[in-house]
Structure formats: structure tokens, C-alpha cells
Structure 1
Amino acid sequence: MSTRDSRPGSTGGADVAGPLHGGPDDDYTPEQLAAMPREELDRLGARYDGVEILHVDPGPEPGTPVERRAVRQVGLTFALAGLAALAFVVVYVGSGWFLPDWHWEITDSGWSVLFTPLLGALMGLAFILVGVGLVLYTKKLLPHETAVQDKHDGSHFDRVTTGATLVGGLHDSGLARRKLLTRSLAFMGGGLGLMLLMPLGGLIKNPNKGDPLGTTSWAEGVRLVRDDGTPIRPGDQEPGSLETVFPAVPGGNRESDAPTMLFRLRPEQVDVLRPREGHEDFNYGDYVAFSKICTHAGCPVSLYEQETSRILCPCHQSMFDITQGAKPIFGPATRPLPQLPITVDDEGYLVARSDYIEAVGPTYWNRERI
């Protein structure tokens, strides 16, 4: 069957000759079939296929107020589906002109709290509107026919008449003359296609761009702040104390690789301080800072025994000695805790001199910088 004959009013492939295989092909030659109009082929195919038509409702008359109202309803529904899909795209990319306070981070308030609910609601709304539009289109604009059909034999006659029936279905749908529907369908299809393609960006995007496992938010001049965002001066801590600090950047206290332990050593600890090679100037006076992420399995290291200068990981009991550059002295950890080089800025607040010079986290993340 010729695929070029799909326009309304064509024969649906009846003009293409084919071999005769018995049945109706014995009664009609390809030339006779090609000469018949599509409507007659449709009825003829139904009759030879053993189709009994029980009821026919042709649908609304073209150009009537009923048809125009139905077209507007269906077109509006499809257009709203396209708008919901495009809104999904806007939320997904976090466009600043649409959501001015957008941030790719978890906060207690603001648009970012609604990020996942908005994505789910907009995608669900788009698909619901598609379904509603298709139901309205089928119920209000398409002809309705109730028929019973017997099994056909798959002859050339069947192929030709079936092609005419399919083309007739396209003709009866009214899409060729209902421009509002075709435009709204095209708009909806484009929006839905873009919506479904957007999540693939997370799969296509290179997750290692910028060396995310080997870098953190710490950088030269970034202040050490408490969880509430207040900066720290060298005299704020008592000797022998520990305080968890974060980088003074937006959302720094929520970043999983940013927590750092700031120690103020006692005088006797300073006397026995033996930094690792290359880390001799990482401390500032009696202050040293080490990553809070255990190098064994990534648990938070938080138990400090100042009498023994040891830090204990509560998950698997790895122990690190801060007077020896936080080298592991017990337990499964085999790599020292990364040390953050620190100093003070012009206002006397503690700041980082750079990022960690080694990867933060479990040993399987330990690798050379790219």
C-alpha cells in the first residue's frame, strides 16, 4: 500500500496493483478498486469483512456553534497541557526571571522547598490535561460508530479497503480543517516532548565536571563560621576545645563535604605537634583544622579526647591523632583526615588559605587531582 496516499480524499492505496489471492479479489480487480471513491471502498470493505454496523453518530456538523465550542474546549485543554509542560521545564532549569529567589539547595523557606512538588504537580497536570483533551476530542468531535466485525483473510482486497478506512478515519477526525486543534496539538506535543527530555540532562551532563569529589567550597579567604553563620576569632575558643565550622558561603552549613573540626590545642599539645610533610604551615598558632568526614566510610568524626589528642569515629572506632596530622592510629581507616590550611584575615577572623589539597571523604575517593 502506498504511504503517499494518506491525504483526506485519497484511495488509501487502492491505486497500487497487487496480486489476487481469492475471496473479494476474485470479484474486483485492482483497477476497479482504484476507481472507487474512498467512502465506497470503506463501506465495501466493511461489508466483505462481515461488519455489522449497529449505530452511527456522525458528530457535530462542521461550522455549527456546537462544533466551534467543542473545538475551543479541546484546543484550550491541549494548550493548557503544553503550558504545564513548559512550566515544568522552567522549574527544572530554575530560570531566574520566573522564580527570582531560586536556589539549587535545600532551605527552610523559599521556592527551593517546592522544587520537587512543583515538578511532580506540573508533570501530572500536563498528562491529566492530555487525557482530558483526548476524551473531549473523542466524545465531542469524532464520529461514533458501533459495529461488530468478523475476522478477515488478509487479502489484497483487505489491505486496500483497510487503507481506505484508516484514511477515512483521519478525514473524519477533522484535523485537516480544524486549525486550532492542529496548532494546539503541535504546541502540546512540543511542550510534552521537551518536558520528557529535560530529565535526561542529568544523565547526559558530566558529573565529574570541575572535579566535584576532589573540591569543596573552602577557598582562599573564606571565613570559618559557626552553624549560625557567626565568624570566629582566634581568642574565641578555650585551649583543648573543638568546634565544628563551615565555609562562609551560601548554604555552606548544609554541604556534606564542608564540615570541618577546628581545634585549639593546649600548650603541651603544641609542644609535641608533628605536622605531616607538606603541612608544616597549615596551622595558625595553636589552631588546627581537619575534615569532619572519616576517611574510612564517610561517617562524621566528632568524639574528641583532649587528654590523648585523639579523635574517634563512632561508626567503626577509627582513631586519629591530631598532634600527628590526624594520622589513623587505630581502626579500619588507613588515610589521615585532610587538613585545612588556615590563617586570619585583615579583620582578625580565621579564614582558609585554600581548599583541602586532598580529596575529602572515604579512601575510595582518594585520587590525584585532575
Structure 2
Amino acid sequence: MSTRDTRPGADATGELYGGPDDDYTPEQLAAMDREELDRLGARYDHVEILHVEPGPEPGSAMEKRALKQVGMLFTLGGLFAFLFVAAYVGSGWFLPDWHWEVDEGGWSAFFTPVLGLFMGLALICVGVGFVLFTKKLLPHETAVQAKEEGSHFDRVTTGGTFTTWGHRSGLARRKMITRSLLFMGGGLGLMLIMPLGGLIKNPNKGNPLGQTSWREGVRLVRDDGSPIRPGDQEPGSLETVFPAVEGGNRQADAATMLIRLRPEQLANLRPQDGQADFGYGDYVAYSKICTHAGCPVSLYEQETSRILCPCHQSQFDVTQGAKPVFGPATRSLPQLPITVDDEGFFVARGDYPEAVGPTYWNRERI
């Protein structure tokens, strides 16, 4: 380590002559203020300043106008970010019920567009705000620099350059910009991490893929909500029924085929193991959702006792527990256990014993 440098600029504010670590001791560098370190680093790094355009005069009308514009944009960016968060968590401020349902109208149908709108507006405000902040409030300097391998000298003087930039930016005295930046940063950060909540905690409760709204005692009703008694259908006929619950005829996974078998079909009935008592008299009920790709299987050919899926031509035999006998489907249609209540109307004895529709990876029963 060399002795104290007595050349101009070592501990004075005149013209500075720079060098590597062997020209300036750590003590000498520590004794310099940020302005000196900034100028010293520039000289040592062979920086040639081509053009300098100072920012607006502090307290001038131009600066005040720019502060209002930038502060307003940052504040709006934070506000839109917080509105995104409120919409995402289902706040009742503007989306009373955002849970998705098939063919649902009202606010819930706009849940995803609202999220996109608020996130887009937040990012636009942030971007435009930073552009205006850079163009209207920061000094502009054009310089050419040839950079060499770094050293302790480089690290210290570079630190001085960064702190000097922070001072020149005016953030310390421009409280409106600082506060709006903090507000915007909080909202934007929360907005960006909020969608990760689905990776931390599953929003689906229970077993939504393996259950429907059928429960013990729930009546089987037609599309218009009217209940069904034994004898309402002709032998060999099929009727689509739904659970008598709120939105029953709009729950696609609960759609069920109630079939009244003919005497010869009843004589040949071969239910699945453990499901011999799922029917009631000459009635059986099967899921309307194809186990291949989820299409509605609503074409019933009573002469052959087969239900046809119109999408890929899978066929299921209702006298063999809706077992697939043709086409790509490999799993039987789930059967709904049914009985009648005290008033003589059909009711379910419980939910389907297995998941309806196509097979998925964590199904417990195949």
C-alpha cells in the first residue's frame, strides 16, 4: 500500500487525477463525499461527457406540473393494482359473486375481463409514469465510457455514482413522487404475487371433480322443475332429469338419464357389482356425460338397449350397467341410486358412486 497521495484531488475538490487502488487508500476514498467520488470515478474510467441537459428548476411551474402528472400516474397504477387484488379475492365491492357457472350472466361473467382490465391499466400507468419521470424530471447526460476490469476503487466510486444519481433524481425532496411510488410498488407487488395463491392453497374445497350436487333425498325433476313419479314415462322411454337444487338444470355434471325399461329388458338386466339395488322397479338412472370425452349421450335405441354418444359413436348397454360395448369409451356410465319419497316422487339415494365424465389422473375408482 502506498503512502498518502499528495497530488491534487487526493483530498481536495480541484481537478481530480484517478488511479487504481494503489493510488488511493481506502481511508482517502472514505473521506471523499459522493460528488467527489462520482467525478473521480468518471475521470478514472475515461468518461467523456458529450452533452448535459439539466432537469427542471426546483420549484418551477414546469417541475410542479411534471410532479402532478407523474404522481397521478403512479397513484393510479397502485389503485388499479389494488382493485385487481380486490377482484381476485372476490371482494363484494364490485363483484358480489364471481364464481363461474355455465351460462351465468351478470357480474360473474365479467370476472376474467375485469382482472385483465385492472392489470392492464395498472401496468400502463406504471410504464407511462416512469417514461414521464425520466423525460421531465431527471437530468439527461450523454457520455462515452471505456470500461476496464473492476477493483475496490471501481466499487467505491461506482457506489458514489449511484448515490449521486439518487440525489440528482430529486426523490429525496419530491415527496409526492416518493409516496406515489411506494403506493404503486405495494399494489403492483401484491397484484403480481396474488395469482400464486392458487399454488399455495387449493381454492377447490372437497372433491369437486368427483362429486355432483346429487344427495340423499334430492328429487329428480325435469328441465322445467317438475318432479317425476313412477308411471309418468312409457316403457322404453328416456327422460333427462336434474337435481331439485338451486341451478339444478344448469349443472352440466348432474344431468342424468332416467330410463324406464321394457319387460324384456328388465328380464335381461345385469347391473354392475354392488349396484343391484340402484334401480327402482323398472327404472334405472345413468349419467348423461360420456366417459370418453364428456359429450352428452342422449340417443337411446330401446330395441337394442343401447345409448349412443353422437360425438365419437361410443355405445353403452343399459341392461349391463351401461357398460361400453362399442367405440372409444372404456368405462361404464356411472349409475345414480334412486328410490321414491313419501309423496311418491323419485329421489336420489346419494351421489354417483364414482366421478362422472372422462377419467382423470387421480380418480380413485376405475
TM-score range, shorter chain: 0.7 to 0.9
Match of 1:130 in 2: 126
Letter in 2 for 1:135: V
State the 1:339 CA deviation. 1.0
Match of 1:359 in 2: 355
Secondary structure of the structure 1 residue equivalent to 2:254: coil
- CA RMSD of superposed structures (Å): 3.1
Query: Would the aligned equivalents of 1:359 and 1:366 in 2 still touch at CA under 8 Å?
Result: no
Query: Would the aligned equivalents of 2:260 and 2:282 in 1 still touch at CA under 8 Å?
Result: yes
Match of 1:202 in 2: 198
Match of 2:318 in 1: 322
**Structure 1: unaligned runs, 5 residues or longer:** 1-13, 16-21
Match of 1:145 in 2: 141
State the 1:341 CA deviation. 1.6
**Structure 2: unaligned runs, 5 residues or longer:** 1-9, 12-17
Match of 1:183 in 2: 179
State the 1:355 CA deviation. 0.5
160-169 vs 60-69, greater mean Cα deviation: 60-69
Q: 1:310 to 1:93 in 2, by over 3 A?
A: same
State the 1:142 CA deviation. 1.5
Match of 2:101 in 1: 105
Instruction: List structure 1 segments (4+ residues) > 6 angstroms apart after TM superposition.
Output: none
Q: 1:347 to 1:56 in 2, by over 3 A?
A: farther
Distance in 2 (CA, whole Å) between partners of 1:364 and 1:41 is 65
**Partner residue of 1:169 out of 158, 165, 172:** 165
State the 1:203 CA deviation. 2.6
Are 1:79 and 2:75 matched, yes or no? Answer: yes
Match of 1:47 in 2: 43
CA offsets 1:135-156 (integer angstroms, 9 cap, x no match): 1211222122222223345344
Secondary structure of the structure 1 residue equivalent to 2:253: coil
State the 1:289 CA deviation. 0.8
Secondary structure of the structure 1 residue equivalent to 2:161: helix
Query: Would the aligned equivalents of 2:98 and 2:111 in 1 still touch at CA under 8 Å?
Result: no
Distance in 2 (CA, whole Å) between partners of 1:50 and 1:347 is 96
State the 1:128 CA deviation. 0.7
Distance in 1 (CA, whole Å) between partners of 2:148 and 2:160 is 15
Distance in 2 (CA, whole Å) between partners of 1:310 and 1:80 is 62
Letter in 2 for 1:320: F
What fraction of aligned residue pairs are identical, expressed as a percent? 80
Q: 1:25 to 1:224 in 2, by over 3 A?
A: same
Query: Would the aligned equivalents of 2:218 and 2:347 in 1 still touch at CA under 8 Å?
Result: yes
Query: Would the aligned equivalents of 2:248 and 2:254 in 1 still touch at CA under 8 Å?
Result: yes
State the 1:86 CA deviation. 1.4
Query: Would the aligned equivalents of 2:19 and 2:44 in 1 still touch at CA under 8 Å?
Result: no
Q: 1:358 to 1:25 in 2, by over 3 A?
A: closer
How many residue pairs get aligned? The number is 350
Q: 1:158 to 1:101 in 2, by over 3 A?
A: closer
Letter in 1 for 2:215: A
CA offsets 1:94-147 (integer angstroms, 9 cap, x no match): 223432243332435211221221111111111111101111211222122222
State the 1:343 CA deviation. 3.0
Distance in 2 (CA, whole Å) between partners of 1:146 and 1:366 is 61
Distance in 1 (CA, whole Å) between partners of 2:25 and 2:301 is 99
300-309 vs 29-38, greater mean Cα deviation: 29-38
TM-score between the two structures when normalised by the length of structure 1 = 0.82
**Partner residue of 2:219 out of 207, 215, 223:** 223
Distance in 2 (CA, whole Å) between partners of 1:103 and 1:233 is 34
Secondary structure of the structure 2 residue equivalent to 1:86: helix
Query: Would the aligned equivalents of 1:340 and 1:355 in 2 still touch at CA under 8 Å?
Result: yes
Q: 1:118 to 1:229 in 2, by over 3 A?
A: farther
State the 1:329 CA deviation. 3.9
Secondary structure of the structure 1 residue equivalent to 2:300: strand
